[in-house]
Structure 1
C-alpha cells in the first residue's frame, strides 16, 4: 500500500438532525462522511485513479468474497448519495455488531426483511458499508461467482449526485391550514408526531425534499387541503402493498398536488392580508408533476448549521416572496382520493386519506411545497396555522401537533 493510501479520516460520530431515528426501523444513515462517521460504517479508503489501469472497470457496488464486505465506490470528483437495501440477509456493522433490520413489501406483495443504508459517498472514495452473513452451504453456493450473483439479487440501490438546496432559507409567506382535521372538543383531539422536519438527516437534505415535513399517522387518516386551490395532479398508480424500506420503492407512491389560488399582499416586508381567487380568475391549467426527482434519496450537501438556521429563523430570510405555490401530499392511500385533476378545493376540505405507499418505514404523511410544478423544482418552506393560536409554526421532529393548538406543550 502506498504512503498516500494510509490517509486517515476523522471519526466523530454523526448525530441525527431534525429526525426521529425510531421512525425509520431498519434504516442506517451516514450523511456527513468523512468528517463524521457512524456506528455502523466499517470504514473508508481513498480512491486514486492513477493506481488502476485505464481499462479496469471499477464496480459501483462490490463484494469482497473473503470477508463478505459490501463496498460502494465513488470514482468521481464530486460526492454521491446512495440508498442501498439488502433484503433477506443479516448485516454486520462496525465491530461485528448485527444491525437492526426492518421490513419491506414488493409491488407483487412479497414481504421480506430488509436493511437499508442511506449514505453519502465522498468524492474518490471506497465506502465499506457492512458485512453480509451468507450461509454458503444452505444456499448451495460453490464459488465466488455464485456468491456474487446471489448477493446482487438481494440488493436494491439508487445512486445520485449530491444536490443540496441552493436557498434553504426560502419561505413562502402564505400560511397553510394544518393537514389533518380540526377537532371541536379536547377529549376527541389527536396529536401527530413530526418524525422529520426541514433539513432532516434521513431524507430531507436533497433539494426536492429539503423543506418537507413528515407526520406519523395511521393509514386512513383524513387529509385536508392547506389552502384554496385547484388540483393539478393526482398520482394513484402505486398499490399499498408496495411499501417499506427497500430502495426499489423510492419511485412508487400515491400523491396529490394542489396549485394554491390564494394570494398574499406584502407591504414593507409584512404580510398585509390574504385573498382567495375564484377558479374563474385563475387558469386551471398546470403541468402535471412526477416527483421522481424529489423522492427518497438525500442530497447531503447542506450543513447542519444551515439546516438549523432554516428551522429556527425562517422569517429572517430575504428570499421569502409571494407568488405561485404548489403543495403536495405523498404516501396517500390507494383509491382514497375525494377529488380529481381540475377540481377546485377549499381550505380544510378533505381531499384524500393517508397511507404508506412507496418508501415508507412506517405509515406517515409527507408534505412538501414548491414554487412551480416542475418535477425538478426545489422545495420552499411554509408555516402552518392552528385555529386557537395566533402565531404560525414550523413543525420540528420529536414534537406533537394538531389543527387546534399547533404544538402540544408538555
Structure 2
C-alpha cells in the first residue's frame, strides 16, 4: 500500500493473519467472536417461515436495536460486509462496550465516521452481531450499506475462496523483489489468507504493507504495465469502497499479473 503511517516491526503472527490495530473502525467475526453477541442455528420453522418465505440477509430489531445477519442457504458459506455511516454511530458488543468507529473518505475526499463489520457464516446459521442505538425514526434512520456474497464464488464473481487455507494447487514459492522503496521498516498489516479481506481466491495471496504517504511503489519483477487506475479520491473502510482504489497492474514475463493497489491519487503513473 502506498499510504498510511509506518510502525515498529511486529514480532509474531496474530490470529487471523491481520492486525486489528491497523483497521480502526473494523470488526471481524467469522461465525462467532469474542465481541459479537451470539451465533445460533437458523431454523425457518422456529420463525414460522415456509420454505418460500423471504429471509433478509441483514436485519435490525426495531425494539432492541440488535443487528443480525442470516445465512438461510442450505449449502453455501457466505461473507457479509456491513458498514454503518455517521460520526455519531453508537454500536455495542456483547459486553456493552462501544464499538469505536473509524474514518472513511467520501467522493470529495472528506472524512466521514464509519463502522464496518466483516463476518462469515456457514449454511443455516445466524449471528446477532451488535446492538445499535437507534435514531428516533428507528432502523430506517440507520445509514447501513452491505456487500454479501457466497464465499465459494468470491465477491462480485471473482472465483472461489478458502478461508485462510492453503489450496492443493498452490504454485511453488517465488523469489521476487520487495514492492516498496525507501528506508522502512514496513509493517505487514495483513498477510496471505488474512481474515479481514484476504479470504477470497482473488485476494488470498495479497499482502498489505503500511508505509508513509509518498513511499515509492516498485515492481517486484520486470514486466509490462497493462492497466492503470488513478482517478479515485474516495477511500477507507466503507463497504462501498471495497474495490475503489488506484492501482497499477503489471504483467510479468511469466504472464502472471501483479496488482499494486491503494496508490495515492495522482501518482499511479
Q: What is the TM-score with the length of structure 1 in the denominator?
A: 0.55
1:211 is displaced (CA, Å) by: 1.2
**Contact 2:231–2:266 under 8 Å retained in 1:** no
Matched position secondary structure for 2:212: coil
**Contact 2:93–2:131 under 8 Å retained in 1:** yes
Matched position secondary structure for 1:25: coil
**Contact 2:91–2:99 under 8 Å retained in 1:** yes
Paired position in structure 2 for 1:49: 44
Matched position secondary structure for 2:140: helix
Q: Report how many residues are paired.
A: 240
Paired position in structure 2 for 1:79: 77
Paired position in structure 2 for 1:92: 92
After the TM superposition, which parts of structure 1 deviate over 6 Å for at least 4 consecutive aligned residues?
none
**Contact 1:177–1:225 under 8 Å retained in 2:** yes
Larger radius of gyration: 1
Paired position in structure 2 for 1:3: none
Which one of the candidate residues 234, 246, 250 is aligned to 1:258? Answer: 250
Matches within 5 A, 1:286-325: 323-325=254-256
1:255 is displaced (CA, Å) by: 0.7
Paired position in structure 2 for 1:159: 148
CA RMSD across the alignment: 2.0
Paired position in structure 2 for 1:102: 102
Structure 2 unmatched runs, 5+ = 1-13, 153-160
Matched position secondary structure for 1:148: helix
Matches within 5 A, 1:6-405: 16-31=15-30, 33=31, 37-50=32-45, 51-54=48-51, 56-77=53-74, 78-88=76-86, 89-136=89-136, 141=137, 147-151=138-142, 154-163=143-152, 164-165=161-162, 167=167, 170-172=170-172, 174-181=174-181, 189-239=183-233, 242-261=234-253, 323-338=254-269
Distance 1:65 1:230 in 2: 54
Matched position secondary structure for 1:66: coil
Which structure has more relative contact order (CA 8 Å, sep 6+)? It is 2
Distance 2:245 2:189 in 1: 19
**Contact 1:81–1:161 under 8 Å retained in 2:** yes
**Contact 1:168–1:210 under 8 Å retained in 2:** no
Judging by fraction of residues, say which structure has more helix.
1
Distance 1:158 1:172 in 2: 33
**Distance verdict in 2 for CA 1:125–1:173, change over 3 Å:** closer
Structure 1 unmatched runs, 5+ = 1-14, 142-146, 183-188, 262-322, 339-410
Distance 2:62 2:149 in 1: 26
Cα deviations by residue, 1:170-194 (Å, 9 ceiling, x for unpaired): 2355421111226xxxxxx321111
